[in-house]
Amino acid sequence: NAGVTQTPKFRILKIGQSMTLQCAQDMNHNYMYWYRQDPGMGLKLIYYSVGAGITDKGEVPNGYNVSRSTTEDFPLRLELAAPSQTSVYFCASSNPLGPLYEQYFGPGTRLTVT
Amino acid sequence: SQELEQSPQSLIVQEGKNLTINCTSSKTLYGLYWYKQKYGEGLIFLMMLQKGGEEKSHEKITAKLDEKKQQSSLHITASQPSHAGIYLCGADLSGGGADGLTFGKGTHLIIQP
């Protein structure tokens, strides 16, 4: 199993550009999440999904959009990038029926908006 | 205000010494997760606690959840250079399980040889 994979690892965007951060998991997990981590801060939840076709806003959803057309993929879309979106983005997945309900994290995407 | 407070923010410990990191909430911790993050990398799951008074150990790391389920501690015995990194506590504060975790700001741990 590859676990949770994220692409790209690094990206520099200009203000106003758009991009999609890709996230995929091969563990057949129903629950998937997007977090952002700013320097010196913990992770904050952007969006989450409890299954294909179902998404919901987290704590900091403004400026982002998500879709969940399959169980495996959960892309995060940034429209009109702003410097405030400079951060490290982590995707995670979990199996609510598993013994630990552990959230598995991807390696992260480091995004800089200039 | 931060829903999950971690302390200390940073810690410098001499190799071989013991250390403790704390995670405190004003709300009930329905599930408390400890993760380790190496600089520039993803999060590695360490342990999860759910029951009041629960204690789990793995190698030299022990995590506890208090009886009231509002505070957890992570204790490392005889620290080694491999323990260096950022320790994050994450909590399920809603009890629903599906809507993600709330994280503390993290504790930066440096091990001095």
pLDDT (0 to 100) of residue A42: 86
Higher-confidence residue of B6 and B69: namely: B6
Q: For A56, which residue in chain B has the nearest alpha carbon?
A: B99
pLDDT (0 to 100) of residue A19: 97
CA-to-CA distance for A72 and A32, rounded, in angstroms?
9
**What's the length of chain B?**
113
> Nearest CA to B110 among B73, B83, B88, B89?
B83
Residue B21 is encoded by which pair of tokens?
């990191």
> From the CA of A43, how many Å to the nearest CA of chain B?
6
User: Per-residue pLDDT tens for A7-31?
Assistant: 999 999 999 999 999 999 999 999 9
Higher-confidence residue of B50 and A102: namely: B50
Fold of A4-113: Immunoglobulin-like (2.60.40)
Fold of B4-112: Immunoglobulin-like (2.60.40)
Which residues on chain B place their C-beta less than 8 Å from a C-beta of chain A? Answer: 4, 6, 31, 33, 35, 40-43, 45, 48, 88, 90, 97-106
User: Per-residue pLDDT tens for B2-43?
Assistant: 789 999 999 999 999 999 999 999 898 888 999 999 877 889
Q: DSSP for chain B?
A: --SEEEE-SEEEEETT--EEEEEEESS--SEEEEEEE-TTS-EEEEEEE-STT-EEEETTEEEEE-TTSSEEEEEESS--GGG-EEEEEEEE-SS-SSS--EE---EEEEEE-
Average pLDDT, chain A: 92
Is the distance from CB of B30 to CB of B68 less than 8 angstroms?
no
Is the distance from CB of A80 to CB of A63 less than 8 angstroms?
yes
CB A105 to CB B31 under 8 A? no
pLDDT (0 to 100) of residue A87: 96
CB B103 to CB A102 under 8 A? no
Tens of each residue's pLDDT in chain A, 114 residues: 789 999 999 999 999 999 999 999 999 999 999 999 998 788 999 999 999 999 999 999 999 999 999 999 999 999 999 999 999 999 999 887 655 567 889 999 999 999
Domain ranges for chain B: 4-112
- Bridge partners of B32, per DSSP, are B49, B91
| Phi/psi at A5 (5° precision) | -115, 145
